[in-house]
Structure 1
Amino acid sequence: MAKKTRGKGEGSLTQDSRGYWRVRIELPADRDGNRRRKEIRRKSKAEAIAEMRELKKELAKTGDLATSSVKLEDWSETWLKERAKKLAPNTISGYRVAFRDYINPKFGSKKLDKLTPGHVRELHDLILETPKDKALRELSDPPEGTELLSSTYALLVHNTLSGALKMAVRDGIIGRNVCELVDKPTKRHTVEEVLTFDEGVKLLKYLTTHKDGPLWATYLLTGARRGEIIGLEIDRVREDHLDLSWQIQRIKDIKQAPQDYEYRHLENRLYLVRPKSKAGWRTPPLVPELAELLRRQIGGRTEGLVFQRDGRPWDPADASIEWKTILKEAGVNEKVKLHGARHTAVGLLYELGVGEATIMQIVGHSTVSVTRRYGQAGNKRAMQDAMKKLSGALSGKAIEPPANQKQN
């Protein structure tokens, strides 16, 4: 039986049958209300007392103490499994890559309570010094001018590690999240290339003769996201609006999807997925010009995807590549990404005098205005009028180019 001894200021000490001194310190209960204690073992009573005093100082400072030593690589799997219950598969896949390729190779063997702010800064440096081209990563001295991973990606990796450590703190495994003691990498701000008014008119004119013209014109005339248009189904083309409540995504491992994740399989790794929040279910207006384009595209079909490539769904990556080809053929700015069509629509709506609240409702930006009901008649009329302005302007019907876009 353990021999229990108490001395002034020593706290709780027990000496086991092997002669080791064991210290126990009461800690705050875990999130389920269960009792927690910090326990250490030392060879001598003096060492145990000294360690106990240090732990009490740390407890007073941070409010908690680590109760066990867990390797980061082991904890990462626990965290990923927990997060996979709530997040989309592609989001979890990104977190998994961050741990697999960067965090765990560098620090996976370390105990959670041994991580320091210095380790986090080392991780930042590692990312920012890694070539973007995987073929160059094995070189000890990559060629001058090699493109490196961005600060935006370094921020993603930082947030991944921080999320895992945050759960460890919450579960009482560690007393602090060292990521919170380090400045985050600064996210790179890039200026999105957009089409000018004249380029938009030129592109729309070119699309009238292109076999896939209706697809690309729909992006310009709705400000929709890439997956929303290639994922548009015939039964969601309504009389006066489009129902964009589903979109195409390429998903590597659908088995990672949480239980409440809504999806429908198309082929291979392509799925129709629905935004988890109804705030993401957008209904942009269907103006007459666009309605006519879609009617011609659909023809006599009654079901399936509106836009197909040789009878099959468009892969999102292929759509982005083909968009670049379209811009080149039309003789407009080839640097504009497919997402830039969305920014182009927003910019032109601003220039045509459309109010900010209406624009936000049309494109579904995350602002207070998107919480308003799309079903309100006033909002519907405002969105219809706005998109008629845009469609008329790009079609050259009765609306002059904005003053700042006119040729001198």
Structure 2
Amino acid sequence: MATIRSREDQDGITIGWQAQIKRKGFPLQVKTFRSKAEATQWATVTESEMLRGVFVQRTESEQTTLKELLDRYSREVLPTLKGGYREQSRIKALQVGLGTYSLAALNSSMIAKYRDKRLSTISEKTGRLVSAQTVKHELGLLQRALKMATMEWGIALPGGIPTVMVKQPSLPSARDRRLIDDEEARLLAECANSKNLWLRPAVILAIETAMRAGEILESFGTADTTTGVRPQKTLGLQWADVDLKKRTAHLPKTKNGDARTVPLSTRAVATLEALPRSMDGKVFGTTYEGIHQAFVRACKRAGIEGLTFHDLRHEATSRLFEKGLNPMQVAAITGHKTLQMLKRYTHLRAEDLAKLLG
């Protein structure tokens, strides 16, 4: 049986009620409440859970806020992850929206309200509504942090991990922009006229290999607000990793964390052979930020609308299928881990499929 005692101040005035449960096989449970009714209810529920074998020690989850958990996750986990710096903005958003709640109080309803509020929020960075993809990444981070708390740090959550019961925001349809008609010729012609001499070979390599922009070019993140330093996001392609005789480009670090070796077409090899060699070992003597601006201007001059540099990866992936490669072969080249993700980057033309039918 639980023991319920009143708590008095120095003047003998009752200021609260303490419930204490001593039961063999369980740690001592002590909690103080404002009213006797609350203390009695807690003791009844806790003893019932002990009898049914479903009791969960709540002390640490009640004393730990989500902000504190995410701070620990930031200190101990993010430094071990490739691209962990990208999670900092997501942690900040979660701490602003849910950080004051204890882990024990956090539930699926709160998280669903957070999801809906974020989807209706204007981003300070872009001036547009926060995207469904951004919110999905935030909920994914929250789930990973809660899972770490329960599995590695011994913080039991009374109701389990609440994020698993929350519906993910619906993502927009995958982009299906491909080069049409003579757009490739027009684009490359304007790339050749660009002041950025690296633009045309970078575009050709993207079309021929399906490599991500960061796998081709060095790129940087947002500058730190205190130091002004922009962290390096990707190193870009290095000559040390290119073998023109074997016609391969090795990528030791990729977005999904796995290394892969990309085969080079005859056109890709010819493009690389024509490039000058630099002392720093980089294949391209520019950054993605520099290429991006030059690419936008080249598209405008060529009269091409709605095309992004990342769309070239879609184009290249689709062409690999049109050449007759099977999904496993294409995934080995592009680095996609699942066929579902590969499908999002693949847009086959009906006329090309008709040719295969004979």
Aligned positions of 1:190-229 closer than 5 A:
190-196=174-180, 198-204=182-188, 207=191, 211-212=197-198, 213-229=200-216
Quick one: which of 75, 89, 98 aligns to 2:69?
75
1:364 lines up with 2:335 in the alignment: yes
Match of 2:173 in 1: 189
Over the matched positions of the two proteins, sequence identity in percent amounts to 21
The C-alpha deviation readout for 1:355-384, integer Å capped at 9, x for no partner, is 33322222222148xxxxxxxxxxxxxxxx
The alignment partner of 1:159 has SS state of helix
Task: Judge conservation of contact 1:128–1:150 (CA < 8 Å) in 2.
Answer: yes
Superposition pairs of residues 40-119 of structure 1, within 5 angstroms: 40-41=31-32, 50-58=41-49, 60=52, 64-68=56-60, 69-88=63-82, 90-91=83-84, 93-100=85-92, 102-119=93-110
Pairing of 1:3-402 with structure 2 (within 5 A): 10=1, 13=3, 20-24=18-22, 38-41=29-32, 50-58=41-49, 60=52, 64-68=56-60, 69-88=63-82, 90-91=83-84, 93-100=85-92, 102-134=93-125, 147-170=128-151, 171-176=154-159, 177-196=161-180, 198-204=182-188, 207=191, 211-212=197-198, 213-230=200-217, 231-238=236-243, 239-246=245-252, 274-275=253-254, 280-298=258-276, 304-309=281-286, 314=287, 316-331=288-303, 333-367=304-338, 402=352
Other structure's SS at 1:353 match: coil
Equivalent residues, number: 308
- After TM superposition, give the deviation of residue 156 of structure 1 in Å: 1.9
Secondary structure of 1:55's aligned partner: helix
The secondary structure found in structure 1 opposite 2:21 is strand
Deviations 1:283-340 (A, max 9, x none): 22233333222222125x576212113xxxx1x3333332222333344x33222111
Q: TM-score by structure 1 length?
A: 0.63
Q: Spell out, residue by residue over 1:24-73, the C-alpha distance to the aligned partner (whole angstroms, 9 max, x if none).
A: 46788xxxxxxx65432469998755422212445648552412322222
Q: How far does residue 244 in structure 1 lie from its aligned partner after superposition?
A: 3.2
C-alpha RMSD over aligned residues: 3.6
Could you tell me which runs of 5 or more consecutive residues in structure 2 were left unpaired when the two chains were aligned: 9-16, 218-235, 340-350
- Cα distance 1:232–1:161, how it changes in 2: closer, same or farther (>3 A)? closer
Once residues 316 and 255 of structure 2 are traced to their aligned partners in structure 1, the CA distance between those partners, rounded to angstroms, is 25
Report if the CA contact (8 A) 1:21-1:44 is conserved: no
- Between the aligned partners of 1:330 and 1:85, the Cα distance in structure 2 is 43
For structure 1, the 5+ residue unaligned runs are: 1-9, 29-35, 137-146, 247-273, 369-400
Q: Secondary structure at the match of 1:40?
A: strand
Residues 104 and 26 of structure 1, relative CA distance in 2, 3 Å threshold:
farther
- 2:64 & 2:150 partners in 1: Cα distance? 12
CA contact (8 A) 2:209 2:316 kept: yes
Quick one: structure 1 residues 276 and 99, their matched pair in 2 at CA, closer, same or farther if it must change by over 3 Å? closer
Q: Distance in 2 between matches of 1:330 and 1:233?
A: 30
Indicate how the Cα distance of structure 1 residues 43 and 134 shifts in structure 2: closer, same or farther if over 3 A, else same: closer
TM-score w.r.t. the length of structure 2 is 0.71
